[in-house]
Amino acid sequence: MIEVKHLVKKYGEHLAVDDLSFTLEKGQILGFLGPNGAGKSTTMNILTGYISATEGTVMINGHDIFDEPEEAKKCIGYLPELPPLYQDMTVREYLNFVADIKFVKKNEKRKMIDRIMRMTKITEVSERLIKQLSKGYKQRVGLAQAIVGFPEVIILDEPTVGLDPMQIIEIRDLIKELSKNHTIILSSHILSEVSAICDQVMIINKGRLIVSDTPDNLSQHIGGSKGLHLEVKGEQEAIKKALETIPEITKLEFDKNAKGGIVKLSAYSNEENDIREAVFYALSDAKCPIYDMHSTKMSLENIFLELTQDSPKPHASKNSNRLLRKNKKKDEDGIPAETAEAMNQEPEQKEEN
Protein backbone atom coordinates (compact mmCIF):
# COMPACT_ATOMS: atom_id res chain seq x y z
CA MET A 1 0.00 0.00 0.00
CA ILE A 2 2.84 2.42 0.91
CA GLU A 3 6.41 1.90 -0.27
CA VAL A 4 9.14 4.41 0.50
CA LYS A 5 12.63 3.86 -0.92
CA HIS A 6 15.80 5.80 -0.10
CA LEU A 7 13.99 9.03 0.71
CA VAL A 8 16.24 12.07 1.11
CA LYS A 9 15.31 15.69 1.79
CA LYS A 10 17.86 18.50 2.01
CA TYR A 11 17.32 22.14 2.94
CA GLY A 12 20.50 23.71 1.63
CA GLU A 13 23.27 21.86 3.45
CA HIS A 14 20.93 20.53 6.13
CA LEU A 15 19.88 16.88 5.79
CA ALA A 16 16.33 16.65 7.15
CA VAL A 17 15.51 13.12 5.91
CA ASP A 18 18.41 10.74 5.38
CA ASP A 19 17.98 7.62 3.21
CA LEU A 20 14.64 6.55 4.74
CA SER A 21 13.00 3.34 3.49
CA PHE A 22 9.95 1.43 4.73
CA THR A 23 6.80 -0.37 3.54
CA LEU A 24 3.32 -0.54 5.02
CA GLU A 25 0.62 -3.05 4.12
CA LYS A 26 -3.13 -2.47 3.89
CA GLY A 27 -4.93 -2.44 7.23
CA GLN A 28 -1.82 -1.69 9.32
CA ILE A 29 -1.49 1.18 11.77
CA LEU A 30 2.05 2.59 11.83
CA GLY A 31 3.16 4.67 14.80
CA PHE A 32 5.65 7.24 13.53
CA LEU A 33 7.85 8.48 16.39
CA GLY A 34 10.82 10.74 16.85
CA PRO A 35 11.96 13.73 18.91
CA ASN A 36 11.22 17.28 17.77
CA GLY A 37 13.23 18.08 14.65
CA ALA A 38 13.68 14.38 13.78
CA GLY A 39 12.06 14.80 10.36
CA LYS A 40 8.58 13.36 11.05
CA SER A 41 6.55 16.27 9.66
CA THR A 42 8.94 16.64 6.73
CA THR A 43 8.49 12.95 5.86
CA MET A 44 4.70 13.12 6.13
CA ASN A 45 4.62 16.27 3.98
CA ILE A 46 6.59 14.38 1.32
CA LEU A 47 4.28 11.34 1.56
CA THR A 48 1.27 13.58 0.92
CA GLY A 49 2.93 15.44 -1.95
CA TYR A 50 2.95 18.74 -0.06
CA ILE A 51 6.69 19.15 -0.59
CA SER A 52 9.07 17.41 -2.95
CA ALA A 53 11.93 15.07 -2.10
CA THR A 54 15.53 15.67 -3.02
CA GLU A 55 15.99 12.00 -3.77
CA GLY A 56 14.08 8.71 -3.55
CA THR A 57 10.63 7.35 -4.40
CA VAL A 58 7.25 7.21 -2.65
CA MET A 59 4.57 4.82 -3.96
CA ILE A 60 0.99 5.16 -2.70
CA ASN A 61 -1.23 2.26 -3.75
CA GLY A 62 0.96 1.74 -6.82
CA HIS A 63 1.15 5.43 -7.79
CA ASP A 64 4.35 7.50 -7.59
CA ILE A 65 3.59 10.62 -5.52
CA PHE A 66 5.96 12.66 -7.72
CA ASP A 67 5.17 11.28 -11.19
CA GLU A 68 1.43 10.66 -10.65
CA PRO A 69 0.50 13.21 -7.96
CA GLU A 70 -3.22 13.39 -8.76
CA GLU A 71 -3.74 9.63 -8.70
CA ALA A 72 -1.62 9.20 -5.57
CA LYS A 73 -3.34 12.04 -3.68
CA LYS A 74 -6.76 10.54 -4.38
CA CYS A 75 -5.65 7.67 -2.14
CA ILE A 76 -4.60 9.92 0.78
CA GLY A 77 -6.46 11.62 3.62
CA TYR A 78 -4.23 13.93 5.68
CA LEU A 79 -4.63 15.61 9.04
CA PRO A 80 -1.61 17.90 9.61
CA GLU A 81 -0.73 19.09 13.10
CA LEU A 82 -2.38 22.42 12.27
CA PRO A 83 -5.76 21.39 10.76
CA PRO A 84 -6.54 23.18 7.45
CA LEU A 85 -9.84 24.78 8.50
CA TYR A 86 -11.79 27.69 7.01
CA GLN A 87 -12.87 29.51 10.15
CA ASP A 88 -15.82 31.43 8.61
CA MET A 89 -17.54 28.29 7.32
CA THR A 90 -19.90 26.11 9.30
CA VAL A 91 -18.77 22.54 9.89
CA ARG A 92 -21.19 21.17 7.30
CA GLU A 93 -20.24 23.82 4.72
CA TYR A 94 -16.57 23.00 5.21
CA LEU A 95 -17.04 19.25 4.84
CA ASN A 96 -19.17 19.85 1.72
CA PHE A 97 -16.32 21.96 0.34
CA VAL A 98 -13.79 19.19 1.08
CA ALA A 99 -16.08 16.60 -0.55
CA ASP A 100 -16.28 18.73 -3.70
CA ILE A 101 -12.48 19.04 -3.82
CA LYS A 102 -12.21 15.26 -3.53
CA PHE A 103 -14.81 14.77 -6.30
CA VAL A 104 -17.26 12.86 -4.11
CA LYS A 105 -20.38 12.06 -6.15
CA LYS A 106 -23.25 14.46 -5.46
CA ASN A 107 -25.75 11.69 -4.77
CA GLU A 108 -23.38 10.22 -2.13
CA LYS A 109 -22.08 13.41 -0.54
CA ARG A 110 -24.74 14.19 2.07
CA LYS A 111 -24.98 10.60 3.30
CA MET A 112 -21.19 10.34 3.56
CA ILE A 113 -20.83 13.62 5.44
CA ASP A 114 -23.57 12.69 7.91
CA ARG A 115 -21.85 9.36 8.52
CA ILE A 116 -18.42 10.96 9.04
CA MET A 117 -19.85 13.56 11.44
CA ARG A 118 -21.38 10.75 13.50
CA MET A 119 -18.08 8.87 13.47
CA THR A 120 -16.13 11.91 14.71
CA LYS A 121 -18.86 13.07 17.14
CA ILE A 122 -19.38 16.51 15.55
CA THR A 123 -23.01 16.23 14.40
CA GLU A 124 -24.19 18.49 17.22
CA VAL A 125 -21.97 21.36 16.00
CA SER A 126 -22.58 20.85 12.28
CA GLU A 127 -24.27 24.25 11.82
CA ARG A 128 -21.83 26.26 13.94
CA LEU A 129 -19.04 28.39 12.55
CA ILE A 130 -15.67 26.67 12.91
CA LYS A 131 -14.12 29.76 14.53
CA GLN A 132 -16.62 29.41 17.40
CA LEU A 133 -15.56 25.86 18.22
CA SER A 134 -13.20 24.75 20.97
CA LYS A 135 -9.78 23.42 20.06
CA GLY A 136 -10.98 19.86 20.65
CA TYR A 137 -13.89 20.20 18.25
CA LYS A 138 -11.65 21.87 15.65
CA GLN A 139 -9.32 18.89 15.90
CA ARG A 140 -12.23 16.53 15.29
CA VAL A 141 -13.38 18.57 12.28
CA GLY A 142 -9.81 18.28 10.95
CA LEU A 143 -9.99 14.51 11.39
CA ALA A 144 -13.37 14.43 9.64
CA GLN A 145 -11.97 16.18 6.55
CA ALA A 146 -9.16 13.61 6.36
CA ILE A 147 -11.75 10.81 6.25
CA VAL A 148 -13.95 12.41 3.56
CA GLY A 149 -13.97 10.16 0.51
CA PHE A 150 -12.74 7.24 2.63
CA PRO A 151 -9.23 7.20 1.08
CA GLU A 152 -7.11 4.03 1.23
CA VAL A 153 -4.36 5.79 3.22
CA ILE A 154 -4.98 8.10 6.19
CA ILE A 155 -2.05 10.09 7.61
CA LEU A 156 -2.61 11.67 11.03
CA ASP A 157 -0.15 14.10 12.62
CA GLU A 158 -0.94 14.41 16.34
CA PRO A 159 -4.67 13.55 15.92
CA THR A 160 -5.56 13.81 19.63
CA VAL A 161 -3.97 17.19 20.38
CA GLY A 162 -6.41 19.29 22.42
CA LEU A 163 -8.82 16.46 23.19
CA ASP A 164 -9.97 15.50 26.68
CA PRO A 165 -9.40 11.93 27.95
CA MET A 166 -12.84 10.68 26.86
CA GLN A 167 -12.42 12.18 23.38
CA ILE A 168 -8.97 10.59 23.09
CA ILE A 169 -10.46 7.16 23.81
CA GLU A 170 -13.18 7.77 21.20
CA ILE A 171 -10.62 8.79 18.55
CA ARG A 172 -8.47 5.74 19.38
CA ASP A 173 -11.50 3.49 18.84
CA LEU A 174 -12.27 5.30 15.58
CA ILE A 175 -8.71 4.81 14.32
CA LYS A 176 -8.90 1.10 15.14
CA GLU A 177 -12.20 0.86 13.28
CA LEU A 178 -10.80 2.71 10.26
CA SER A 179 -7.82 0.35 10.10
CA LYS A 180 -10.16 -2.47 9.03
CA ASN A 181 -10.39 -0.86 5.59
CA HIS A 182 -7.62 1.75 5.59
CA THR A 183 -3.86 1.96 6.08
CA ILE A 184 -2.99 4.52 8.76
CA ILE A 185 0.17 6.41 9.67
CA LEU A 186 -0.07 8.01 13.09
CA SER A 187 2.40 10.49 14.54
CA SER A 188 2.01 11.25 18.23
CA HIS A 189 4.00 12.41 21.25
CA ILE A 190 1.65 10.42 23.50
CA LEU A 191 3.57 7.15 23.54
CA SER A 192 0.96 5.24 25.50
CA GLU A 193 -1.45 6.04 22.67
CA VAL A 194 0.95 4.63 20.08
CA SER A 195 1.53 1.52 22.16
CA ALA A 196 -2.22 0.96 22.56
CA ILE A 197 -3.32 1.14 18.92
CA CYS A 198 -0.37 0.65 16.56
CA ASP A 199 0.61 -2.62 14.88
CA GLN A 200 4.04 -1.31 13.94
CA VAL A 201 6.24 1.41 15.43
CA MET A 202 8.91 3.27 13.50
CA ILE A 203 11.34 5.56 15.33
CA ILE A 204 13.43 8.10 13.43
CA ASN A 205 16.05 10.52 14.71
CA LYS A 206 17.97 13.17 12.78
CA GLY A 207 16.20 12.04 9.65
CA ARG A 208 17.34 8.41 9.89
CA LEU A 209 15.43 5.25 10.67
CA ILE A 210 16.54 3.98 14.07
CA VAL A 211 14.25 0.98 14.45
CA SER A 212 11.01 -0.44 13.07
CA ASP A 213 9.19 -3.26 14.85
CA THR A 214 6.04 -4.18 16.74
CA PRO A 215 5.49 -2.40 20.09
CA ASP A 216 6.11 -5.67 21.97
CA ASN A 217 9.44 -6.32 20.23
CA LEU A 218 10.94 -2.82 20.39
CA SER A 219 12.73 -3.36 23.68
CA GLN A 220 14.79 -6.20 22.16
CA HIS A 221 16.65 -3.61 20.09
CA ILE A 222 18.30 -2.12 23.17
CA GLY A 223 19.58 -5.33 24.66
CA GLY A 224 17.04 -5.74 27.42
CA SER A 225 13.36 -6.51 27.31
CA LYS A 226 12.63 -8.80 30.25
CA GLY A 227 13.17 -7.36 33.67
CA LEU A 228 12.64 -7.45 37.40
CA HIS A 229 11.51 -4.63 39.63
CA LEU A 230 13.27 -4.91 42.99
CA GLU A 231 13.06 -3.32 46.42
CA VAL A 232 16.22 -4.18 48.35
CA LYS A 233 17.53 -3.14 51.76
CA GLY A 234 21.14 -2.01 51.70
CA GLU A 235 23.59 0.43 50.14
CA GLN A 236 23.07 1.12 46.45
CA GLU A 237 26.73 0.59 45.62
CA ALA A 238 26.77 -2.83 47.32
CA ILE A 239 23.58 -3.85 45.52
CA LYS A 240 24.96 -2.66 42.19
CA LYS A 241 28.23 -4.52 42.71
CA ALA A 242 26.38 -7.74 43.57
CA LEU A 243 24.10 -7.60 40.52
CA GLU A 244 26.95 -6.76 38.15
CA THR A 245 28.31 -10.25 38.81
CA ILE A 246 25.34 -11.69 36.90
CA PRO A 247 26.34 -11.79 33.19
CA GLU A 248 22.73 -12.16 31.96
CA ILE A 249 21.80 -8.68 33.27
CA THR A 250 22.04 -6.17 30.42
CA LYS A 251 20.84 -3.02 32.18
CA LEU A 252 20.28 -1.66 35.69
CA GLU A 253 18.03 1.31 36.47
CA PHE A 254 17.98 2.76 40.00
CA ASP A 255 15.12 4.87 41.35
CA LYS A 256 16.60 8.09 42.72
CA ASN A 257 13.60 8.73 44.98
CA ALA A 258 14.08 5.66 47.21
CA LYS A 259 14.06 6.38 50.97
CA GLY A 260 14.40 4.64 54.33
CA GLY A 261 17.32 2.42 53.40
CA ILE A 262 15.26 0.65 50.71
CA VAL A 263 16.74 0.80 47.21
CA LYS A 264 14.31 0.51 44.29
CA LEU A 265 15.65 -0.63 40.94
CA SER A 266 14.92 -2.55 37.74
CA ALA A 267 17.25 -5.19 36.31
CA TYR A 268 16.84 -6.14 32.62
CA SER A 269 17.90 -9.19 30.65
CA ASN A 270 17.14 -10.75 27.27
CA GLU A 271 13.78 -12.52 26.86
CA GLU A 272 15.25 -16.01 27.04
CA ASN A 273 16.97 -15.44 30.40
CA ASP A 274 15.24 -15.88 33.76
CA ILE A 275 17.46 -14.05 36.24
CA ARG A 276 15.31 -14.35 39.37
CA GLU A 277 17.28 -17.16 41.01
CA ALA A 278 20.65 -15.58 40.23
CA VAL A 279 19.46 -12.23 41.62
CA PHE A 280 18.23 -13.91 44.82
CA TYR A 281 21.55 -15.65 45.54
CA ALA A 282 23.70 -12.64 44.55
CA LEU A 283 21.86 -10.29 46.92
CA SER A 284 21.73 -12.95 49.63
CA ASP A 285 25.53 -13.31 49.47
CA ALA A 286 25.84 -9.50 49.69
CA LYS A 287 23.63 -9.48 52.84
CA CYS A 288 21.05 -7.32 51.03
CA PRO A 289 17.56 -8.71 51.74
CA ILE A 290 14.93 -8.48 49.00
CA TYR A 291 11.68 -6.84 50.15
CA ASP A 292 9.91 -7.12 46.78
CA MET A 293 10.62 -8.67 43.38
CA HIS A 294 8.28 -8.87 40.39
CA SER A 295 8.53 -9.05 36.61
CA THR A 296 8.38 -5.85 34.57
CA LYS A 297 8.95 -4.58 31.04
CA MET A 298 10.54 -1.40 29.81
CA SER A 299 7.93 1.20 28.92
CA LEU A 300 7.72 2.59 25.41
CA GLU A 301 8.83 5.93 26.86
CA ASN A 302 12.07 4.40 28.19
CA ILE A 303 12.68 2.53 24.95
CA PHE A 304 12.12 5.71 22.94
CA LEU A 305 14.57 7.70 25.09
CA GLU A 306 17.16 4.94 24.97
CA LEU A 307 17.01 4.59 21.19
CA THR A 308 16.94 8.30 20.33
CA GLN A 309 19.59 9.42 22.83
CA ASP A 310 22.08 6.77 21.81
CA SER A 311 21.40 6.81 18.06
CA PRO A 312 24.34 7.52 15.76
CA LYS A 313 24.82 10.78 13.94
CA PRO A 314 23.27 10.90 10.46
CA HIS A 315 25.57 10.02 7.60
CA ALA A 316 25.67 11.78 4.26
CA SER A 317 23.64 10.03 1.59
CA LYS A 318 25.79 8.33 -1.03
CA ASN A 319 25.22 8.98 -4.73
CA SER A 320 23.72 6.00 -6.51
CA ASN A 321 21.38 5.10 -9.34
CA ARG A 322 18.44 6.43 -7.33
CA LEU A 323 16.40 9.11 -9.04
CA LEU A 324 17.52 12.62 -8.11
CA ARG A 325 14.41 14.72 -7.94
CA LYS A 326 15.32 18.36 -8.26
CA ASN A 327 12.89 21.17 -8.86
CA LYS A 328 9.98 18.77 -9.25
CA LYS A 329 8.00 21.48 -7.57
CA LYS A 330 8.83 24.85 -6.12
CA ASP A 331 10.13 24.19 -2.64
CA GLU A 332 11.39 26.05 0.38
CA ASP A 333 15.08 25.68 -0.45
CA GLY A 334 17.42 27.08 2.13
CA ILE A 335 14.93 26.79 5.00
CA PRO A 336 16.41 24.74 7.88
CA ALA A 337 14.48 21.62 8.81
CA GLU A 338 13.85 22.95 12.30
CA THR A 339 12.11 26.02 10.83
CA ALA A 340 10.04 23.92 8.45
CA GLU A 341 8.95 21.67 11.32
CA ALA A 342 8.14 24.70 13.49
CA MET A 343 5.92 26.10 10.72
CA ASN A 344 3.84 22.92 10.99
CA GLN A 345 3.31 23.15 14.74
CA GLU A 346 0.13 24.57 16.20
CA PRO A 347 0.57 27.40 18.73
CA GLU A 348 -0.60 26.80 22.26
CA GLN A 349 -4.19 27.74 22.94
CA LYS A 350 -5.76 28.27 26.33
CA GLU A 351 -9.24 27.45 25.10
CA GLU A 352 -10.96 24.60 26.93
CA ASN A 353 -12.76 21.78 25.17
Query: Looking at the predicted structure, is the pLDDT value of residue 194 above 90?
Result: no
The pLDDT, as a whole number, for residue 340 is: 45
The pLDDT, as a whole number, for residue 332 is: 42
Q: What percent of the chain has pLDDT over 70?
A: 82
Other Cβ atoms closer than 10 A to 177: 11
C-beta separation of 59 from 137 below 8 A: no
The pLDDT, as a whole number, for residue 64 is: 92
Cα 169 from Cα 152, distance rounded (Å):
23
CA–centroid distance for 66 within its chain: 24
Q: What percent of the chain has pLDDT over 90?
A: 44
Cα 102 from Cα 109, distance rounded (Å):
10
Domain 226-297 of CATH type 2.40.50.90: no
The pLDDT, as a whole number, for residue 171 is: 84
* CATH of region 2-219+305-343: 3.40.50.300
Cα 135 from Cα 96, distance rounded (Å):
21
The pLDDT, as a whole number, for residue 259 is: 74
Query: Looking at the predicted structure, is the pLDDT value of residue 191 above 90?
Result: no
Q: What angle do CA 242, 248, 250 make, to 5 degrees?
A: 85
C-beta separation of 10 from 16 below 8 A: yes
Q: How high is the mean pLDDT of the chain? A: 82
What does the pLDDT look like over 2-57, one tens digit per residue? 999 999 999 988 899 999 999 988 888 999 888 888 888 899 999 998 899 999 99
Query: Looking at the predicted structure, is the pLDDT value of residue 244 above 60?
Result: yes
pLDDT bucket at 150, cuts 50 / 70 / 90? very high
Q: What is the mean pLDDT of residues 79-85?
A: 87
The pLDDT, as a whole number, for residue 184 is: 93
First to last CA, the chain: 36
Reduce the secondary structure of 11-50 to three states and give it as a string: ECCEEEEEEEEEEECCCCEEEEECCCCCCHHHHHHHHCCC
pLDDT bucket at 272, cuts 50 / 70 / 90? low
Number of helices followed by number of strands (H, E) in the chain: 11, 14
Query: DSSP string spanning 227-292?
Result: EEEEEEES-HHHHHHHHTT-TTEEEEEE-TT--TTEEEEEEEE-TT---HHHHHHHHHHTT--EEE
Query: Looking at the predicted structure, is the pLDDT value of residue 348 above 60?
Result: no
Q: Comparing 320 with 80, which gets the higher pLDDT?
A: 80
- The residue extents of the domains of the chain are 2-219+305-343, 226-297
pLDDT bucket at 88, cuts 50 / 70 / 90? very high
Cα 56 from Cα 308, distance rounded (Å):
24
Global pTM reads 0.68
The pLDDT, as a whole number, for residue 341 is: 46
